[in-house]
Amino acid sequence: MASPDQIAAQILSTKSLSVSPNWLNTFLSSGLAQRNVPLSALAKTAIFRLLASDIKESLSKHRSCVLPVDVYDPMVQERCLQGSIPVQVLDIEDIGTSLWSQIEAIERVERGEAIRGREIVRTIAVDEDPEAAESNPTNNGPVAGANASGSSGSGPHRLILQDAGGTVVTGVEIQRMDGVSVEKLAIGAKLLLRNPTVARGMVLLTPGCATVLGGKIETWDTPWRQGRKARLLEKTGGLEAE
Amino acid sequence: MARKILCVAEKPAIARAVATHLSGGSFQTHSIRGNQYVKNYEFNFNFGGAWGDCAVTVTSVVGHLTGLDFDRQYKGWQSCPPGSLFEAPVLEAVDKVSKCQQLSRSSADARNKDKLPIAENIRNQAKYAKALFIWTDCDREGEHIGSEVRNQAKAGNGRIEVKRAKFSNTERAHVRQAALAPIDLDEYQANAVAARIELDLRIGAAFTRLQTLQLQTVVAALKEKVISYGSCQFPTLGFVVDRYLRVKNFKPENFWGLKVIVNREGKKVNFLWKRVHLFDRAVVTMMLERCLVAKQAKVTKVDQKPKSKWRPLPLTTVDLQMMGSRFLRIDSQTIMKVAETLYTKGYISYPRTETDQFDKAIDLKKLVEKQYPDSSWGQYARELIDGKFKTPRWGRHNDKAHPPIHPVSWVSPSSLNANEKKVYEFVVRRFLACCSDDAEGQSSEVEIKYGDEFFHANGLIVLERNYLDVYVYDKWESSQQLPNFERDESFEPTEANIFEGKTTAPSYLTEPELIGLMDANGIGTDATMAEHIAKIKEREYVAVNTRGSGRSSVSELIPTRLGIALVEGYDNVVAGLPNSVSLSKPFLRKEMELRMLEICSGNKTRQEVVQQSLDMYREVFIHTQRRINMLKTACRKYLVETPES
């Protein structure tokens, strides 16, 4: 039978995750390990459970795999962290799209228009020329292009991340990352940061220094999604009061 | 007895044009009893083939001959529960008074609405005729009118042979050609129209009675008002209300972006941020700092490539309406009326078409040559024929009935009124543009990486204006020339800054946008969209508001309180019901429209489609009856209580 050490080693080598011995023991005593399950299968199950767990309970809090506690300090212009640090997603926001157009998108889904696949509000281009959109290179583009529905909804995203020790930090998707979007990335999903750069307290997320491991914490994700529209509305309300 | 052929057109002016072209100008004109517009024109014409030389009578109807209505006992508003109109027997009869189902097709003149004398004229003329040639417009509606004409002719002469002429403009050679090669009436298309007429009648009457009777009791302002429902009108209203609410509910938000300025070769070049702008100031500030720390920017891309601006596609009705209301500042219904007049007078081709491909058989150069006499674009037309002519682009639509809208003959501007001049000029310029070459230019793009961020600058030189010279509605101008940049070169930008902005609300819906939405969502046909828009204005569901002044003024569509109340009411009626969609949405009508197409292709019968569509609407009707309080509440909310604002 596979020993806890063997499984921990397997998880470390495949996912670079240092599992907490307590959590592993609980996992192994859950009955699965009694039968003759091969090591690799057992490790896979463990990883699956890990990704659905709160890493504050399931991963090692060793100094080498957590964020510095002052990581969010905005006074620090730039620093590079060493090693592989697993984190879990507490929140994700698209900062390339206005809150209002995100609300409108949610409402379209609520009305069943997007679900049915019948695109109701499809304004056909008044000018059919496919090049017309870019054929007027003006030098004040950004301002001219700024209306509520102007963005494609593809980020960049701002994430709130948490390490095994409970330290919370903002992450910014500074280069496009696969799997990072409001729809695809679940709350509780795990990311592995490798030697990431932190600027003004924000972790810079790029495909080179962050890997999406996936997963989800159901009890966090469901209420987050249900409450998303209310939160967006609240924020736009706050803006108006300013 | 000499062989006689009876020709019946859709409008008196077409009858006259057909008679003029076939007779070569000499024909006898006889008035008919009871209608001052419809005339009978008599002459001889050789139809060739089996027909040979025949006596001809050309006459016309004035739009639809017959209308559909309920049996007498269902006509009174209180005569039956509105829901029974889904099944109540209906009768087709020759119009005695206004039915006005196709406003634009019948002259608005009230004296003209009595169709009995016209029907009688056809029956009488048919008695002496060997064959009937139908010359109604070649579209779905025309096919149905043709079937009405046939029914009258058959009533007068059971053995009369029935043919139809296929034509799309009233130019001489084209008309003569059509006379020599008649085809059969398309029963499928006529049936599709018959189905639509029945559905519009039943669904329209049922909902109109229900909501009028119920809402009249709620609000004093509605007491004397008929609150009409139409299955196209309501989705059209829905689009207007939807946009209005988006504007009203909108909340502005701040955004921030980066801009980089580079001074080089005495020029100041603005580089634009690839991310455009973001809604998080701290992130943007951090990104700017990383640019400044990096100091050096690197040129990642230098692109010089030829760029063309494509000449427009051949003109369709929807395009004419959209472009017309944009460039000519005439509303779509007026545009269609003017275009209809220009067509009837023989200046342009049939203005109701979805086709944006010119058939290979059309001699386009000949049509271009006809424009030589014009003082504004005659010279341009000459240059086209002298070598610059290009075959038009090939669009993706073909309704298999009509070519794209194009001029068929030249007319001196002095014989047109102001609106006719504008529309004719647009049609000609568009046509000449189609036969021209694309505009050619050279575009340059420089992309730099600065810190983690990318910025780009663009330049354009227009080298050959080509079609732009005649199509004055398109703008394509050269911009600032970019100074020289080398790929991989590093340099320090002169300036890098954060700019700040605010999102702005969308603007209220304009008519061209509304036509675009209707087109994309299958509401109405190119021929009827303008009428639906006019209808919701007439019903006071929507008002037109003009913003700005002079050349830059924009006409916006804004719903009235009643309009908002109806949409909100119907949305609430189906709120929470699975698989039910509000009448303010385009889905039901779109499905109905798709079924019409199935009749046209022969895949479904008229009866099947009528039943299926009625079932669909009956379900909503039942919900509406049950939850009529939703509608009443919405009306009280907007029409009785003073709104908060």
Are B135 and B12 part of one and the same domain? yes
A98: contact with B, CB 8 A cutoff: yes
The whole-angstrom separation of Cα B165 and Cα B478 is 50
Are A226 and A166 part of one and the same domain? yes
Are A216 and A113 part of one and the same domain? no
Task: Average the pLDDT over each of A139-148, A158-167, B370-379, B611-620 and give the range with the smallest value.
Answer: A139-148
pLDDT of residue B96: 78
Domain boundary among B502, B534, B555: B502
Domain boundary among A124, A144, A164: A144
| Cβ within 8 Å of residue A110, ≥6 positions away | none
Contact across the interface for B506 and A77, Cβ inside 8 Å: no
Query: Domain holding B552: CATH number?
Result: 1.10.460.10
Residue in A99, A113, A200 nearest the CB of B253: A99
- Establish if A216 belongs to a structural domain: yes
- Establish if A57 belongs to a structural domain: no
ipTM of the complex: 0.84
Domain span at residue A131?
99-144
Q: Which of residues 264-293 of B touch A (CB under 8 A)?
A: 270, 272-273, 275-280, 282-283, 285-287, 289-290, 293
- Establish if B218 belongs to a structural domain: yes
- Establish if A58 belongs to a structural domain: no
* B107 vs A75, higher pLDDT: A75
- In the set B350, B450, B508, B617, the catalytic residue is B350
pLDDT of residue B182: 93
SS3 at position A214: strand
Please, are residues B314 and B358 in contact by the beta-carbon 8 Å criterion?
yes
Domain boundary among B434, B459, B474: B434
Contact across the interface for A236 and B458, Cβ inside 8 Å: no
Domain span at residue B463?
254-311+439-502
Residue in B251, B460, B586 nearest the CB of A137: B460
- Establish if A56 belongs to a structural domain: no
* Each residue's pLDDT tens digit, B37-95: 899 999 999 998 888 899 999 999 988 999 999 988 898 888 899 999 999 999 999 98
Are A196 and A134 part of one and the same domain? no
Are B359 and B389 part of one and the same domain? yes
Query: Domain holding B83: CATH number?
Result: 3.40.50.140
Please, are residues B11 and B60 in contact by the beta-carbon 8 Å criterion?
yes
Are B241 and B299 part of one and the same domain? no
pLDDT of residue A140: 30
The whole-angstrom separation of Cα B347 and Cα B296 is 64
pLDDT of residue B30: 94
A104: contact with B, CB 8 A cutoff: yes
**How big, in percent rounded to 5, are the helix, strand and coil portions of chain B?**
45, 20, 35
Question: How many secondary structure helices (H) and strands (E) does chain A include?
Answer: 8, 8
Task: Average the pLDDT over each of A138-152, B143-157, B428-442, B582-596 and give the range with the smallest value.
Answer: A138-152
Under the banding of pLDDT at 50, 70 and 90, the label for residue B529 is: confident
Q: Which pair of tokens denotes residue B350?
A: 């049939």
Under the banding of pLDDT at 50, 70 and 90, the label for residue A1 is: low
**How big, in percent rounded to 5, are the helix, strand and coil portions of chain A?**
35, 20, 45
Has residue A148 got a pLDDT over 90? no
What is the sign of the dihedral through the CA atoms of B417, B422, B425 and B431? negative
Task: Average the pLDDT over each of A56-60, B221-225, B548-552 and give the range with the smallest value.
Answer: B548-552
Are A88 and A195 part of one and the same domain? yes
| Phi-psi sector, B517: left (phi>0), alpha (psi -120 to 50), beta | alpha
Are A21 and A80 part of one and the same domain? no
Q: From the CA atom positions of chain B, what is the Rg in Å?
A: 30
Residue from A95, A234, A242 to probe the interface with B (highest B Cβ count within 10 Å): A95
pLDDT of residue B533: 92
Under the banding of pLDDT at 50, 70 and 90, the label for residue B18 is: very high
Residue in B255, B275, B282 nearest the CB of A146: B255
Are A126 and A227 part of one and the same domain? no
A102: contact with B, CB 8 A cutoff: no
Are B457 and B578 part of one and the same domain? no
Are B26 and B74 part of one and the same domain? yes
Average pLDDT, chain B: 90
pLDDT of residue A25: 87
* Each residue's pLDDT tens digit, B436-489: 999 999 999 999 999 999 999 999 999 999 999 999 999 898 888 889 999 999
Residue from B243, B283, B320 to probe the interface with A (highest A Cβ count within 10 Å): B283
Using a CB-CB cut-off of 8 Å, the residues of chain A touching B282 are 74, 200, 202
* Each residue's pLDDT tens digit, B597-619: 999 999 999 999 999 999 999 99
Residue located via tokens 């910014």: A172
Average pLDDT on B155-184 reads 90
pLDDT of residue A200: 95
Are B390 and B260 part of one and the same domain? no
- Establish if A29 belongs to a structural domain: yes
Chain B residue closest in CA terms to A136: B476
Are B15 and B164 part of one and the same domain? yes
Phi, psi of B454 (to 5 degrees): -110, 140
Domain boundary among B434, B453, B478: B434
pLDDT of residue B97: 56
A99: contact with B, CB 8 A cutoff: yes
Residue in B259, B278, B516 nearest the CB of A96: B278
Average pLDDT on B491-518 reads 91
- Establish if B644 belongs to a structural domain: no
Has residue B224 got a pLDDT over 50? yes
Are B264 and B326 part of one and the same domain? no
| Cβ within 8 Å of residue B150, ≥6 positions away | B132, B134, B162, B185
Q: Which of residues 560-599 of B touch A (CB under 8 A)?
A: 581, 585-587, 590
Tell me the C-alpha to C-alpha distance, in Å, between residue B89 and each of A43, B70, B85, B202, B494: 74, 6, 8, 10, 81
Q: How far is A218 from chain B (nearest CA, A)?
A: 26
Residue in B459, B503, B512 nearest the CB of A146: B503
- Establish if A164 belongs to a structural domain: yes
Has residue A167 got a pLDDT over 50? yes
- Establish if B289 belongs to a structural domain: yes
Residue from A77, A93, A124, A169 to probe the interface with B (highest B Cβ count within 10 Å): A124
Using a CB-CB cut-off of 8 Å, the residues of chain B touching A139 are 270, 272, 457, 479-480
B497: contact with A, CB 8 A cutoff: no
Are B577 and B445 part of one and the same domain? no
Residue in B273, B312, B504 nearest the CB of A147: B504
pLDDT of residue A26: 87
Are A91 and A195 part of one and the same domain? yes
- Establish if A131 belongs to a structural domain: yes
pLDDT of residue B112: 58
* Each residue's pLDDT tens digit, A20-43: 988 888 888 876 656 677 888 888
Average pLDDT, chain A: 80
> What domain count does chain B have?
4
Average pLDDT on B386-399 reads 90
Under the banding of pLDDT at 50, 70 and 90, the label for residue B274 is: very high
Contact across the interface for B277 and A146, Cβ inside 8 Å: yes
Residue A160: count other Cβ atoms within 10 Å of its Cβ.
16
Task: Average the pLDDT over each of A1-15, B69-83, B206-220, B470-484 and give the range with the smallest value.
Answer: A1-15
Are A86 and A106 part of one and the same domain? no
The whole-angstrom separation of Cα B362 and Cα B356 is 13
DSSP per residue over A105-133, as a string?
A: HHHHHHTTTTTTT--------SS--TTGG
Has residue A90 got a pLDDT over 50? yes
Active site residue B350: yes
Residue from B261, B278, B303 to probe the interface with A (highest A Cβ count within 10 Å): B278
Under the banding of pLDDT at 50, 70 and 90, the label for residue B645 is: very low
Q: Which of residues 243-262 of B touch A (CB under 8 A)?
A: 246, 250-255, 257, 259
pLDDT of residue B102: 41
Are B602 and B635 part of one and the same domain? yes
| Cβ within 8 Å of residue B407, ≥6 positions away | B347, B348, B349, B367, B370, B371, B424, B427, B428, B431
Contact across the interface for A137 and B443, Cβ inside 8 Å: yes
- Establish if B190 belongs to a structural domain: no
pLDDT of residue B323: 87
Are A106 and A135 part of one and the same domain? yes
Query: Domain holding A84: CATH number?
Result: 2.40.50.770
Q: Which pair of tokens denotes residue A239?
A: 């803006």
Residue in B275, B293, B520 nearest the CB of A122: B520
- Establish if B397 belongs to a structural domain: yes
> What domain count does chain A have?
3
- Establish if B402 belongs to a structural domain: yes
* Each residue's pLDDT tens digit, B255-267: 999 999 999 988 8
**What is the count of residue pairs from A and B with beta carbons less than 8 Å apart?**
142
pLDDT of residue B220: 81
Query: Domain holding B373: CATH number?
Result: 1.10.290.10
Are A87 and A103 part of one and the same domain? no
What is the value of pTM for the model shown? 0.78
- Establish if B149 belongs to a structural domain: yes
A183: contact with B, CB 8 A cutoff: no
Are B165 and B276 part of one and the same domain? no
pLDDT of residue B106: 43
Under the banding of pLDDT at 50, 70 and 90, the label for residue B393 is: very high
Are B497 and B512 part of one and the same domain? no
pLDDT of residue B550: 67
* A206 vs B548, higher pLDDT: A206
B452: contact with A, CB 8 A cutoff: yes
Q: Which of residues 61-80 of A touch B (CB under 8 A)?
A: 74, 77-78
Residue from B246, B253, B507 to probe the interface with A (highest A Cβ count within 10 Å): B253
Using a CB-CB cut-off of 8 Å, the residues of chain A touching B475 are 136
Are A130 and A22 part of one and the same domain? no
Residue located via tokens 């580089």: B271
Are A37 and A85 part of one and the same domain? no
Q: Which of residues 203-222 of A touch B (CB under 8 A)?
A: 204
A200: contact with B, CB 8 A cutoff: yes
pLDDT of residue A153: 56
